[in-house]
Amino acid sequence: MVHAFVTSRIDYCNSILYGASAAHIRPLQNVLNAAVRLILCKRKYDRITAAIRDILHWLPVRQRIECNMCVLVYKCLHQAVPIYLSELCIPVATFAGRSHLRSAVKEYLVTSYCRTTTMDSEASHTLAQLYGTHCH
């Protein structure tokens, strides 16, 4: 029951949480800890770190996220996922002019950059261009 209702929900879409701060991960870890206490009949303040690792063989939430991301990248590199996902994992060596770089020799992947500006900052920049002023 715990796997169906708790761990599957923690693992669902956790690629979004990759690189998230501890403040965002902590609530999920608290839920996982409560599930461990329920399964092992532990009290609220009992130590469960060793039990998670040795008895249940579960990883902490941050490491679960990293493990799932590694599995996803592995599957992308071996074409075991849909095309739209495997197109996101491109080795540096496949780009013309980059095959001689250290990153190509180490088989790194190309990282794509996304725009992180908000509409507010973009709107203020546009207004500044219209009125000829600089907004900070």
pLDDT tens-place string over residues 5-37: 888 888 888 888 888 999 999 999 999 999 999
Q: SS3 sequence, 17-44?
A: HCCCCHHHHHHHHHHHHHHHHHHHCCCC
Would the pTM of this model clear 0.75, i.e. be above it? no
How many helices (H) and strands (E) the chain has is answered by 8, 0
Q: Quick check: 87 pLDDT over 70? A: yes
Total domains, the chain: 2
Q: What distance in Å separates the CA atoms of residue 112 and residue 131, rounded to the nearest whole number?
A: 34
Q: What is the mean pLDDT of the chain?
A: 80
Query: Do the domain assignments include residue 64?
Result: yes
Q: Has residue 109 been placed in a domain? A: yes
- State whether 66 and 104 are in the same domain: no
In a domain, 82, yes or no: no
Identify whether residues 13 and 41 lie together within a single domain. yes
Q: Look at residue 69 and tell me whether its pLDDT is greater than 60.
A: yes
Domain boundary residue, one of 14, 36, 71? 71
Indicate the residue among 71, 101, 127 that finishes a domain.
71
Residue 108: inside a domain? yes
The domain in which residue 112 lies consists of: 90-136
CA–CA separation, 54 and 37 (whole Å):
14
| pLDDT value of residue 100 | 74
Same domain for 47 and 97, yes or no, is no
The C-alpha atoms of residue 136 and residue 88 are separated, in whole angstroms, by: 35
Q: Is residue 77 part of a domain?
A: no
* pLDDT score of 67 more than 80: yes
Is residue 80 domain-resident? no
Residue appearing with tokens 């063989």? 57
